[in-house]
Structure 1
Amino acid sequence: MYRHLIGLVVISLFCCLHSAITFEIDETLKGLTVLRAPFVERDLVDGTLKGYFVDLLDELSRVGNFNYTLTELPTSVPNGRNENNPTALTNELYRRRADFAIADYMVRQAQSTRNVDYSEPYLVSSMSALVDKKRLANANVGSIEDLINQRKTQPQTTTTDDGNEPIILGAARSSSTYRHLTMTNDPIGRQLYEWLFRHSTQMVDSREEGITRVLKSPYAFVQESMNNDLATDEHCELTQLQLSNTEPISPHHGMKLEYSIAVASEKARKYLPAINQAMEELKTNGKLDELHRRYWNRKCNGSPSDRVQHVVTAICTLFSLSISLFLLS
């Protein structure tokens, strides 16, 4: 009798576990995103969405056995175009207008899981400062910590473009970077936050403004290393500073102020375990790393073949656009 009871319990547990990670074949999940290359953008020819997120979701749906749709967050949603504010997307999930949301600023952290759940991360990012290579060579600093200490010991001066002025630290107002710094217990992170708080005039309004300022003046723009990786690949004259001289160089593990970027979903939805399982499989088989290499390190930091492929892709895109415009004219 006991053996029968134990058998029933085991079978029940197996069925529960199996149902928790298995999709119905005809289940289609509705996803929302915000356009930003190379994460997701519209194809210039047919207007469909493409990019890192689309390729990632294609792999997840293949491994997890589900279908999905992905649409851009409607322009009518308040704050929907704020590049650093996840509230608009999480509100859409909370109101059950979508099953999941994916964006480069959807960071999994304790305070962000009150209204939504998060998958296992597909990207892990630290914090770094974007700076001009030549100015950095003249500045004799090796980390953000060095810059903070340098500014403490030197008088405040007006920035010039001669390359010899001390490099000034800054970040974007209302950005996820600045928001994370307000909550960190990391000693260097606290120093950085206090410096930025006391020098609010060095803050900028957007990521693009910060990068432009780095290109034109002695300025170090602090943001997630994931975004600085993209900036250094677009502008070959730029590089990154880590938080401290002991900061690991690896973009994947063991970094201070580490941020996990993940897929957000409604609370307690049955499909999230399957997405997590698929994410783990993509990590194990190296597919996540392959996707990362496909969209990062292509222009400045990639191999010669990567750079050639990047140029060929750009030429093909321009050619397709020219043909389309000719046919429409």
Structure 2
Amino acid sequence: MLIKFFSNGKGAGAGPVGYLVAREVLAYDANRHLIRDAEGQPTTVTRDPLPEVLRGDPARTEALIDASRNQWTYRAGVISFAAEDAPSEAQQAEVMDAFEQLAFSGLDGEQYDMLWVRHSHEGRIELHFCSPRLELTTGKSLNIAPPGYQTAYDSLRDLMNKTHGWADPMDLDRAQEVQATVEAPTRAQGREELHEWILGQISVGTISDRASMVDALTEAGFDIPRASKNYITAKDPDTGERWRLKGEIFHDDWQAEPPSREIERGPGSDPQRARRLDGFTIAELQERYSGQCEARAGYNRNRYQHVSGLERESLAGPHQHDQAFDADFTMDGGLGVSVDGNDVGQHKCL
């Protein structure tokens, strides 16, 4: 099992939420090349099985992302399992719970929003997540993956993989790369979506330099009317809309760094060979994860001084209660978000 955050996080909620729940996506062959029809247009395929919303409300998540006044409006990513991991429903719920306990440690359920959607059409389980980058009772930015976040989420990954014997993406004796599949529901709908798609193609190795970037964009159905020294202009031939793409990765001399190896067990591996996590006990990994939870909880409590919905009601008085505030930012009368009929309380470490 591996945990991956996507690089993008700006713009409207339709992009990230739409990707999670889309029925149709661009069709690729076994080599991740776009499949085109007789006229050369990219074809689409219906995800089978269709995406399943496990937790949260896509419409609410999209609306909260759109309501954010912050420059960065959301965080999205995926928890991807190797095919042989085959996690049960209960194990998937355990992973989602542990992820939220880390990401939102110290916060009440009414302070954040989280959407979970399961993809299984690629022959493995992928738990996709999207969270508005917004603390709902203060309106402050809530970044669940701040700089240096890898250490915290690595502790969760290692604990879960050790506990359940799942594939460890850091084991060097695994022979086949495990990478989250990067798809697009349709051709990119704007600059931010296009940029996110390009970063995704870089992460899976499809794009490694300027030439392969132009090839990938052309294959995806874009025209490239101009490729200058420091930028690329992409054009949607259907709408005529153009985007000038700037930044280091769009320079003509840019080269992608070799990707870190995230690999799963291949058919020729030795099951008796020592694994990376063999040197740790579950208790040690649990302690490391709990320490990350406690550190995150301390930061969150300090940054988001929280007054519960009931306390706000008492302080405001019967005639001063801000009903619009509750309607916009809380559910269940301000007492916390309810999932499957259960109130979600403050997240604490396992």
How would you bin the TM-score normalised by the shorter chain?
under 0.3
User: What TM-score do you get using the length of structure 1 for normalisation?
Assistant: 0.26
Question: Which structure has more RCO (C-alpha within 8 Å, separation ≥ 6)?
Answer: 1
Higher helix share: 1
